[in-house]
Structure 1
Amino acid sequence: MLSPKDVVEQSSKRDVPPASPVWRFPANLMSASPSLPRKETTIEQGDNSIAVVAPVTERCCNQHMCNIILLGLGFFFCMGSFFTCMFSQTVVLNSVHDEYFEGTPTMGYVCLAISFAAMTVSFVLSPALSAVMGPKTSMVIGAGFLTLSIGVFLRPLEITLYMGSLAQGIGAGIMWTVYGHFLTANSTAKTIGRNTGIFWMLFQAGPVCGNLFYFVLTNNASSITDTTRYILFSVLLPASSLGIFTLSLLRHPWVHDTLSVKTCDQSEEKEERLTFGQALQGELKMAMSKEMLLLTPMFVYMGIELTFWMNVYGTSLGYTFSFGSVREALVGLNGMFIGFGQITGGFCYGLLGGFLRRNGRDVGVLLAFVTHLVAFYIAFLILPERSALEMTAARGHIAASPYIALVCSFLLGFGDAGWNNPLFALFGSLYPKDPVSAFAIFQAYQSFGNVISFAYSTTLIVPYQLGIMVITAVLGLFGYCFVEWKLASDEAKLAMMKKKLAEQMIAFQLSDPKPWSSKEAQIISNVLSSNK
């Protein structure tokens, strides 16, 4: 067998340009994976080049895409019902007046504050729960809690509403934490942006359909009657139950006693078994890292703006008499157009995934920031100051227009997708081995922002709430950019180091007549095929 140096020397004796020697894996290595495709990589070394032919691991398969679609459909049914309930529950509870329950204009804010307080605790404990019970089991349990919370609105009672709010928070906390496991485990560094976009579009189609149904029920209605409430939640309850069934079809074992995730890029790595205490300790350590602390303002902002578009903005539209006979229906239309905005945003950011990965995801976050500033200014112009607190006949700074209000709804949804998609892609790059803990920390801080914002929503007028969001958005933007720039710098340095290492190995081989051993071949192959 000729070494690369022998090939170069023989080529020189014939007075022709040196041939590019080709080294191929030994037969025993190639036969170990005969079904894998081959890839030829050429490395330049001075005037010579060496082409290395190596097996390439299959990046994606039908099972990974199937899991992404099932995950999206499960969230379509379950989270679609959940979000429709959250969009409308303040207005719905305000319409209930009987011998069992007396609704108030801000009762929904109180229930949602309880829900997000429970969600914060759930986010902290969910990674450890996933380590013990398995991600699939945890996901189905969380969907069950959400379904139970929807049922309490069929016959509202103060005690059942508070219990349902706790169940709602626990279930949503589990689902929002564990879904990051499935999203990351079924994606590679190249497909995480695309898969996030696919999931986001399927998920957001749920609130669109749910709020469309709400709009049909309440169109031209002056109030929410008992019959309307029964019909609404009699449809949302079985739809959420269908989500439980869909999530149970995920191609993942019911019992999984590890927290670590193997992505498509890491299918051959050995998983580390973690106990409940180890998982919780690792999560707390990650929460105190420099990157997480810099991202904290962004997490809190995403919780505050979530409170605004999910409930406060729609409630303000429903409480404003100047919108006329469509004010109740605007609550449902608001949810629909927010969903349209999020679907459009998920689609656009999915298409731009490769561009943002090459040129920096901070561009995507900047676009979301500008979009939300425009939306906040529109909300400031059209909403009366006290519209989030009570029914009001007052007018905003401009005449109330349903069309302008729905444009604002679309921009709120598009901007929300713009904040979420780059952040999830950043998690895939920063924490590929432990995405569950990363998503849990994010959701915990986000829920903390929800709790604070729902608490002050019971007393602060709309302009003050908008001012708080603008300040936290600026802080969140700077924090994300610092982390993104640091990651890009580290990746560039690592790529340069690997290039130099590969060149040194090639130079050593050219100067040594002995052919490469199987171990040396494996090392150079790992260097050439590494993505990180």
Structure 2
Amino acid sequence: MVDDNSDEIEGHPLNQSHNRRECSDLLSCTEQTRNVLQLGIGFFFIFLALNSQGFIEEAVLDSFARKGIGVKFHDGYTSLAIIYASFTIHNFVAAPIIAWLGVRWALVFAGLTYAIFQAGFLFVNRWYLFSSSTLLGLGAAVIWTAQGKYLAMNSTEETAGRHSGLFWALSQLCQSCGGIFLLVVFLLMPSPPGGGEQETSISVPTVRFIYGTFTALTVLGTVILALLPVPTATTPARQTNTIDSTSSAAAVRDPSTVSTELAHSTDEGAEGSGEAEAIAEQPSHLAILSSTVKLMGTRRMVFFSLPFMYTGISQSFWSSIYPTTVANTEMFQLNQGVNPKLLLALTAIVQGIGQATSGFIFGILDSRTRHFGRTKIVSFGAALQLCSFLLAYLNLPAHAPLEKTFEHGILNSPSITLALIGGFLLSFGDACWNTQIFATLIAKYPIRVSQAFAVFKFFQSLLCCAAFFYATSISLPWHVLILAIGLFVGLIGFLLAERMVRQNDDDFGNVVIPTHFEDGN
């Protein structure tokens, strides 16, 4: 049956015009989009180093522990747990630091903490490792909160999805590049003498070469962030966006007043006198911290905290636990002749492809995929991840997250193909969650985007920290069970929160939380 609306008829002139307009929007590159591209490139280099080292950190430190050099077994998991514990705590001070330093210099400060951490692997010392992990947690809280603010400064509600996906695709493409780098290094650098388990370990010269490169890449990414342009209040994206609370004293000082004033202005650019007054002075750091805590207690944010927490569990698994599990599966070499180190690099490559592909589809092609809706995209990602959990459970040995093992999986001999497919599905699904969360926070929390991202990263890092702590003692089936439960709880939370958004979009868009909103009404 043909729809009455001629715009929907294939080949109709109005429909062709609409398609041309979509194509033009896809290819256009505004000043704000160029800023997002530069931000993504800076993150690309920093996280090419960090994500690649996260893949190998546990394996590297266990190799040193076997030689009695500086660290103990599972210090890699402990280091990652410390990073995310510090990340969790420092999320509460990230917004004030950004208000003090400004968004660009906050990004630079955070980038330097990443470089300090990477440099520590050039001379492995247990206490430097843990100290720099704590410092990196502070840097992570600042860099991700500042990233959220910078994206919001360069986005409107219409471009939030596109810019979020574009940034995510660029910043996560680094995993594939990092995997290729590791693959080349493992192929060219000699293995430690001795054969057997020593052959699958990573030699000291190889570690120093890898981490020297990682340190240099981190510094390069930090320099790119230092050159970021900072949009002014007259930039079009800022004119069509409501004010951010880190530059709004009134929003944190008297939220109810600003909420009333903003109720008379739309997201398309109407700016009331209350907004102009808000920009005139900077809020206190205590006021920003108080604003973050109040936002955390609202009913919608309580529901959003469930998917936030799930992404933390998921991140710990795909970024470190799953690659470690693959690397510790000695049957890949015994039966199929593939060194686990090389398979570790291949896993990084396919996971990077999964992250970047998802970011491209739901970001750069946002104008074509937006009609699916955020809930359908997240549900699709959840289904893919559930498949990846099942593949991991059936294919990989139960004790591989903890130690090198010659055990079989449920399906008998572990399959390299299934391991790589599982890695791709895991990362593609993770990007579905993250791109839609990013877009939601940018579009619906324009006034307090720094605080919204701080809350997001607080819950994410809290559960990521917990996951790395329990990773030192539980086997793969327990990981899969925790992930599956977390996935369903997180999906329910996201669906409920998005339903509240649609039912009360105006209040949600203003998101300046007056006192009478704190009970969630």
The 8 Å contact of residues 95 and 103 in structure 1, kept in 2 or not, is answered as no
2:143 counterpart of 1:134? no
Give the counterpart letter for 1:448 in structure 2: L
Give the distance between the partners of 1:267 and 1:88, measured in 2 at CA: 50
Q: Which runs of 4+ in 1 moved over 6 A?
A: 261-264, 492-495
Is 1:124 matched up with 2:138?
A: no
Letter of the aligned partner of 1:424 in structure 2? F
| 1:365–1:418 contact (8 Å) kept in structure 2 | yes
Structure 2 residue 322 is the aligned partner of structure 1 residue 353: no
Answer yes or no: is the 8 Å Cα contact 2:154–2:231 preserved in 1: no
Q: For 2:455, which of 422, 441, 447 is the aligned residue?
A: 441
Counterpart of 1:306 (choices 312, 315, 320) is 315
Residue from 31, 37, 41 that aligns with 1:73: 41
CA distance in 2 between partners of 1:100 and 1:394 (Å): 28
CA–CA distance in structure 2, aligned partners of residues 458 and 279 of structure 1: 37
Determine if the alignment matches structure 1 residue 323 to structure 2 residue 300. no
The structure number with the bigger radius of gyration is 1
Q: Is the 8 A contact 1:260 1:434 kept in 2?
A: no
- Residues of 2 paired with 1:430 and 1:217: CA distance? 44
After superposition, the Cα gap between the structure-2 partners of 1:460 and 1:135, relative to the gap in structure 1 and judged at 3 Å, is: same
Instruction: State TM-score, norm by structure 1.
Output: 0.77
Supply the AA of the counterpart residue of 1:320.
T
Kindly provide the CA deviation profile for residues 469-526 of structure 1, in whole angstroms up to 9, marking residues without a partner as x.
111111111111111122122349999xxxxxxxxxxxxxxxxxxxxxxxxxxxxxxx
User: 1:52 aligns to what?
Assistant: none
8 Å Cα contact 2:164-2:435 kept in structure 1: yes
Q: 2:136: which partner in 1?
A: 168
Taking the aligned partners of 1:168 and 1:362, their CA distance within structure 2 comes to 33
Q: Determine whether 1:485 maps to 2:499.
A: yes
Aligned partners of 1:134, 1:427: CA distance in 2, in Å?
A: 20
> Which shifted more, 410-419 or 120-129?
120-129
2:165 — aligned with what?
197
Q: Hey, what does 2:296 align to over in structure 1?
A: 287
CA-to-aligned-CA distance 1:385-428 (integer Å, 9 cap, x gap): 11101111101012212121111111111001100111111112
Residues 305 and 316 of structure 1, relative CA distance in 2, 3 Å threshold: same
Structure-1 residue corresponding to 2:120 = 152
- 2:303 partner letter: L
Selected match of 2:209 from 206, 214, 231: 231
Q: Which amino acid aligns with 1:284?
A: V
**Which residue is equivalent to 1:388?**
401
Question: How far off is 1:355 after superposition?
Answer: 5.5
Q: CA deviation at 1:102?
A: 4.2
Inter-partner Cα distance in structure 1 for 2:221 and 2:35: 14
Q: What letter corresponds to residue 460 of structure 2 in structure 1?
A: Q
State whether structure 2 residue 188 is matched by structure 1 residue 182: no
Whether the 8 Å contact between 1:123 and 1:441 is mirrored in structure 2 is yes
Could you say which residue in structure 2 is the equivalent of 1:6? none
Q: How does 1:236-275 map to 2 (within 5 A)?
A: 236-252=214-230, 259-260=246-247, 265-266=268-269, 269-270=275-276, 271-272=278-279, 273-275=282-284
How far does residue 336 in structure 1 lie from its aligned partner after superposition? Answer: 1.5
1:421 aligns with 2:443: no
1:93 aligns with 2:54: no
What is the aligned counterpart of 2:375 among 362, 377, 402?
A: 362
Compute the TM-score of the two structures, normalised by the length of structure 2: 0.79
Distance (whole Å) between structure 2 residues aligned to residue 206 and residue 278 of structure 1:
37
Task: Rate the CA distance shift 1:169–1:267 in 2: closer, same or farther, 3 A.
Answer: farther
Provide the aligned length of Structure 1 versus Structure 2. 434
Counterpart code for 2:481: G
Q: Which amino acid letter does the alignment assign opposite residue 81 of structure 1?
A: A
| Alignment partners' CA distance in 2, 1:100 and 1:178 | 37
Shift of 1:356: 5.6
Report the Cα offset of residue 98 of structure 1. Answer: 4.8
Measured after TM superposition, the shift of residue 63 of structure 1 is 2.4
User: Gaps spanning 5+ residues in structure 1: where?
Assistant: 1-59, 496-532
- For 1:272-298, what per-residue CA distance to the aligned partner results, in whole angstroms no more than 9, with x for missing partners? 431101100110000000111011111
Change in Cα spacing, 1:293 to 1:494, as seen in structure 2 (3 Å) is closer
The letter of the residue matching 1:343 is A
Q: Is the 8 A contact 2:166 2:364 kept in 1?
A: no
Q: Matched residues in 1 for 2:507 and 2:283: separation?
A: 32
**Structure 2 gaps, min length 5:** 1-27, 192-198, 233-243, 252-265, 510-521
* Separation of aligned partners in 2, 1:292 and 1:373: 25
Aligned to 2:352: 339
For residues 433 and 490 of structure 1, the distance between their equivalents in structure 2, rounded to whole angstroms, comes to 17
Equivalent-residue separation in structure 2 for 1:134 and 1:454 (angstroms): 32
In structure 2, C-alpha distance between the alignment counterparts of 1:253 and 1:359, rounded to whole Å: 31
